[in-house]
Structure formats: structure tokens, C-alpha cells
Amino acid sequence: MLIIRTESDLEACRKLWQQCIPSEKITDLWDVRECFHRFYRRELMFVVAEDGGEVVGLIPLAWISENGCYGYFPGEVWKGTTWLEQNRIIARDKDVLRRMLDWLHEKKYSCHLGYLNDHTTLELPAAVDEIGYLFLPPKYNFQMQTYHNEFSRKSIRAIEKIIADFKDLGLQYCDGNPDDVELMIEMNLNRFGESSYFSDERFAGGFRALRDFFHARGWLRMTVALVDNKPAAVDMGIVYNNAYTLLAGGTNGEFPGIAKAINMYHIRKACEEKYSEADFLCGDFFWKPMFHLTPRPLYLLSNEEKGTAPFIFPFQKK
């Protein structure tokens, strides 16, 4: 018999998470999520489905008071939107997922779950939330020339000219250190102001904790682009399970176009290191389609009637 219950104790939630969530992606790791929970301190409500004492479903929720609804744990929102991607809902099958979603509706719990991966919805109706973008080195046999063949001659020459012009000014890349995150945050704030996630001290604190976690495990990859010996761009990436994820970056406004140069550097590095993928995450930055990155949709399940979110569940049994 299927039983649905909730859990709010942090340690019990940790055990449920580590029991149910596979550690495939960097955002699957409890320690990554806990970095942000440490600063947001949301009230937790993990929805658990059990059958004969066995956990067969899990929806990890956190109460986001400023949104007036539950979101995916840990609820690290900025202007109503969470940041961590590849969120998972665990369910043994479609029926278990339907039961959990219907239970949330029956209890009148308002939920908005974004950035869900493509295995989460078990083919139930779901709206596309945002599009993430990947560079897949194996697709090009780890060869930059093969990748360049995706471009028109005009567009690749334009990108190469930008890079060449920076090289004439002494462009060089160096491996940064953990403290370079501070310069990256400063650059990001200078460019985006209040539109930057880092303008929220809770997010900035969680991100610094994330930096420390990655550094302690040897996964952190800081990249600094120097032009005329000045920092022109700083990016923070990590390598986990042979996947290279670019988490955040900042650019110096004195050097327009430097973002294209450093992004092409990351792509070249992914080929040289033979990574399975380079994940440039979501964000409607025009350069991602221009660089022929592979789109990957992430999904939304919501019963919020406010705003633009579709009313997706409860599902009606056929």
C-alpha cells in the first residue's frame, strides 16, 4: 500500500536525499545543495512515497516565503527564480508520481518546481522551463577544426578576428585560485548590478561556500583571462564525473568581446581534456546558439496560478 508522508528534519532529509538521488551531476550532491541551504535556511518539506516501508518516491521541497509557494530544495531564489539546474523528482513509476502530485494538490500546497531534468516527469505533461546549452566534445571527435565546420566561414572568421585582436594586446589565460571568485563577483555586479544573483547576500554566501567545497575536493577550475596584464574575464568552473560545468563568470567592461574569447577557450579546453561535455547552463545569452551549442530543455511542474506558470498538475486519472 502506497503511503505518502513528509519529512522536515534536516538530517533525515539528508539521508533521504542520499538514499534516493543518484550522484550523476554536480547538483545531485547533497553537499552542493547544503551550501545554499546554510544561508537561505528554508523550512523543508520532503514529500516521501513509501510502499511496504520502501521509499519509492521523493520530492524535495523548501518553503520560499517571498514567492508564497514551495520550490525545489534548497530554494536559492533571486527575483523568484532558482539557480541550481538538473533538479530531480524521484518516482518508481508514473503512478507514484501522479499520486505524489495529486497529494500536494489535495493538501493545497502551492508548488513551483523548475529546472527539472528530462527523467523527472516520466512522460507526464510538463512545460519547458528554460533551455540549457552543452558543448559535446565527442560529437566532434575532440577536434576543434571539426567543430569549426559547424560555422559559416564568415561567422568563424569574425570570432577568430576577435580572439586575434586580443592576442595582439597580449591575451593570455591562466589558472586562477579560489580568491579569484571575489574578482569574478565584483565584475558580475559591475555589469549586471541588481540583476546579478550576487546582489543577494544569501546567494553570494552560498556561492562562496560552494567554491570552498569544490576547492577542497580538487574539482574547482578558475580561469582568468588577462589582456595587457589586466584581468579581462574570470570564470568559475568545476570538473565532476568528467563533465566540465561553467557555473558563473564576470567580464571587465574595458574589453568588449572578451566573453567570446574565453568561451571559445573553454570549448578548446574541453576538447583537449577530452571531457564528456562542457555545460554552459541556462540563460538566454545570444552567443550560445551562435556557438552551435547543443540545446537541452529543462522542465517545469507547477500548480501556481499566479504569473505565467502553467497549471500543470494535478493529473486526472484516465
Class (C level, CATH) for 2-130+298-302: alpha beta
Tell me the sheet residues that pair with 43: 63
Using a pLDDT cut of 70, give the percent of the chain over it.
Answer: 93
Note the pLDDT tens digit of each residue in 125-176. 678 899 999 999 999 999 999 999 999 999 999 999 999 999 999 999 999 9
> What mean pLDDT, rounded, does the chain reach?
92
CA distance 125 to 127: 7
Mean pLDDT across 222-241: 98
Q: Is the pTM of this model over 0.85?
A: yes
Residues 15-73 pLDDT 10s: 999 999 999 999 999 999 999 999 999 999 999 999 999 999 999 999 999 999 999 99
Q: What is the pLDDT of residues 285-316, one digit of tens each?
A: 789 999 999 999 999 988 875 444 433 544 33
Whole-number pLDDT of residue 80: 82
Q: What pLDDT is stored for residue 121 in this prediction?
A: 65
> Which pLDDT belongs to residue 126?
75
Strand, helix or coil for residue 14 = helix
Strand order in the sheet with 172-175: 112-116, 294-302, 127-135, 277-282, 243-251, 230-240, 220-227, 172-175
Cell representation of residue 104: 500536494
Domain with CATH 3.40.630.30 in the chain: 137-275
Lowest mean pLDDT among 61-75, 100-114, 225-239, 293-307: 293-307
What is the pLDDT, as a whole number, of residue 78?
85
Residue 124 has pLDDT above 90, yes or no: no
Cα–Cα distance, 196 to 144 (Å, whole number): 32
pLDDT at 278 over 90: yes
Residue type, 51: D
Q: What is the mean pLDDT of residues 231-250?
A: 98
137-275 CATH, one of 3.30.497.10, 3.40.630.30, 3.40.50.10860, 3.40.367.20: 3.40.630.30
- The predicted pLDDT at position 220 comes to 98
Round to whole Å and give the CA distance between 31 and 78: 21
What is the reported pLDDT for 10?
A: 98
Upper half-sphere CA count for residue 91 (Cβ side, 13 Å)? 20
Q: What is residue 228's predicted lDDT score, i.e. its pLDDT?
A: 94
H/E stretch holding 187: helix 180-192
pLDDT exceeds cutoff 60 at 224: yes
What is the pLDDT at residue 312?
A: 53
